[in-house]
Amino acid sequence: MSARIIVGISGGVDSSVAALRLVQSGESVAGLFMQNWADDGSGECRAEQDRRDAVAVCGKLGIPFHFRDFSAEYWQGVFEHFLAEYAAGRTPNPDVLCNREVKFKHFLDAARELGAEKIATGHYARVQHEGGRWRLLRGLDRNKDQSYFLHQLGQAQLSATLFPIGDLDKADLRRIAREAGLPTHAKKDSTGICFIGERDFREFLGRYLPARPGEMRDPQGRRIGEHSGVFYFTLGQREGLNIGGVRGRAQAPWYVVGKDVANNVLYVDQDTLSPFLMSRRLWSEPAHWVAGAPPAARFECTAQTRYRQQDEPCAVEVADDGTLAVRFEREQRAVTPGQSLVLYDGDQCLGGAVIARTDAPLESRIAEQAA
């Protein structure tokens, strides 16, 4: 008989406990490990060790193990977009695309081919059915909540998805894993993107986007130094600038405050709260709504422009083409084109969109010069 629920077993402790809780509840369960990145010869990706850990977890739980290679789908649906965004000077969020294009699309299709009715993952989020609609809710552990990365899911995906650990905090989850004797109970949490792993990000990106050195300037246009490529940096970044002592300037850290891709200029400033990093308004690409439609053409809610950010009150206006104009109650630091704006009503995730531009002073000046 086919398992009713297929759990995405990643080889980490979160998905291990998700599978454990379903087994303990008496569900018919199987595990499926997704390989999303083909070996590039560097030996840095943990996929093989993760696969062995996933096999061990399924063995411990006595459930079937399945394997699927989605590396081609990942390349086409996620990585090509990742490279194009960096080449354009933006900072993409591949985890959002991976969830939409791989984990809740190809994985869901594979689970159904195996005869399953639903899928489950180890995400810190919750699903609730209310008033005939499926709602995406934050995980109860706000420090681990991953609804930000799931905001592109819709009614079809949520109706077929379970998040068995969404009501747990991390400490309790590790305790449950340890008491159950799961082989992943003490495994370190993965960070970043698998295909980058622990390696140097700039070195990795340089394999696909060769370095193109150019000037670093302050917001007034004075030369400060030289950069290795504007697409290697993101707004607010401090690390990797390699700016030594600058005559007439204080011995203080420098931060990226702007990128002029057309002229290959990286702008830097020494104030972590530089006015050139601050914005109050943003405009987005067409939005995705978890419920299938926005709550209104104009409404107020809270928003995050990056993961684990504190909720920020804002007013949202939805244009006829689906794009958003958002005004925050207070100034925001380093709102970055290419990243995700995610909207909330309390614990409910309404949806979100990719940030297209902001009213940050340098961004506006560069756009006017290019026009």
- CB count, 10 Å around CB of 121? 24
Please tell me the predicted confidence (pLDDT) of residue 45: 59
Q: Assign a CATH topology to domain 211-269.
A: SH3 type barrels. (2.30.30)
Told to judge if 98 belongs to the known catalytic residues of this protein, a careful annotator would answer yes
Please tell me the predicted confidence (pLDDT) of residue 27: 96
Rounded to the nearest integer, the mean pLDDT of the chain is: 92
Please tell me the predicted confidence (pLDDT) of residue 191: 66
Between the alpha carbon of residue 291 and those of residues 49, 61, 72, 135, 162, the distances in Å are 38, 35, 30, 7, 17
Please tell me the predicted confidence (pLDDT) of residue 182: 97
Residue with tokens 């939409």: 100
Please tell me the predicted confidence (pLDDT) of residue 134: 98
**For the packed helices 170-179 and 13-24, what is the interaxial angle rounded to 10 degrees?**
70
Record the pTM.
Answer: 0.94
Cα dihedral 351, 99, 158, 162 sign: negative
The answer on pLDDT for 39 being more than 90 is no
Name residue 223's beta-bridge partners.
217
- How many whole angstroms separate alpha carbon 14 and alpha carbon 171? 11
The answer on pLDDT for 199 being more than 80 is no
pLDDT tens digits for range 13-30: 999 999 999 999 999 999
Please tell me the predicted confidence (pLDDT) of residue 211: 85
Name residue 133's beta-bridge partners.
130
pLDDT tens digits for range 340-362: 999 999 999 999 999 999 999 99
- How many whole angstroms separate alpha carbon 330 and alpha carbon 314? 9
pLDDT tens digits for range 240-290: 898 877 878 888 899 999 999 999 999 999 999 999 999 999 999 999 999
pLDDT tens digits for range 76-133: 999 999 999 999 989 999 999 999 999 999 999 999 999 999 999 999 999 999 999 9
CATH 2.30.30.280 domain residues, the chain: 211-269
Please tell me the predicted confidence (pLDDT) of residue 41: 57
- How many whole angstroms separate alpha carbon 97 and alpha carbon 300? 26
Cα dihedral 105, 109, 111, 117 sign: positive
Architecture in CATH for domain 276-370: Beta Barrel (2.40)
For the record, the structure tokens of 278 come out as 């601050």
Average pLDDT over residues 38-51: 70
CATH 2.40.30.10 domain residues, the chain: 276-370
Helices (H), 62-152: 71-74, 80-87, 94-98, 107-113
CB 38 within 8 A of CB 71: yes
Indicate which residue of 194, 301, 314, 349 is catalytic. Answer: 194
287 φ, ψ (degrees, to nearest 5): -85, 155
The answer on pLDDT for 292 being more than 80 is yes
For the record, the structure tokens of 334 come out as 């380093």
215 φ, ψ (degrees, to nearest 5): -85, 145
Between the alpha carbon of residue 121 and those of residues 30, 167, 175, the distances in Å are 12, 13, 19
- CB count, 10 Å around CB of 141? 18
- How many whole angstroms separate alpha carbon 330 and alpha carbon 340? 19
The answer on pLDDT for 44 being more than 60 is no
**72 Cβ neighbours under 8 A, 6+ residues apart:** 38
CB 88 within 8 A of CB 81: no
Out of 42-56, 172-186, 257-271, 291-305, which region has the weakest mean confidence (pLDDT)? 42-56
For the record, the structure tokens of 260 come out as 């002029």
- How many whole angstroms separate alpha carbon 241 and alpha carbon 227? 7
| Domain covering 5-179 in this structure, CATH number | 3.40.50.620
**301 Cβ neighbours under 8 A, 6+ residues apart:** 295, 313, 314, 316, 343, 344, 345, 350
Q: Which of 189-198, 206-215, 228-237, 276-285 has the highest mean pLDDT?
A: 276-285
pLDDT tens digits for range 46-74: 778 899 999 999 999 999 999 999 999 99
- Helix or strand holding residue 178 (H, E): helix 170-179
For the record, the structure tokens of 350 come out as 């309404």
**350 Cβ neighbours under 8 A, 6+ residues apart:** 289, 290, 291, 294, 295, 301, 343, 344
Indicate which residue of 45, 58, 98, 349 is catalytic. Answer: 98
CB 13 within 8 A of CB 164: no
The answer on pLDDT for 194 being more than 70 is no
Please tell me the predicted confidence (pLDDT) of residue 56: 97
CATH 3.40.50.620 domain residues, the chain: 5-179
**3 Cβ neighbours under 8 A, 6+ residues apart:** 28, 29, 30, 63, 64, 114, 115, 116
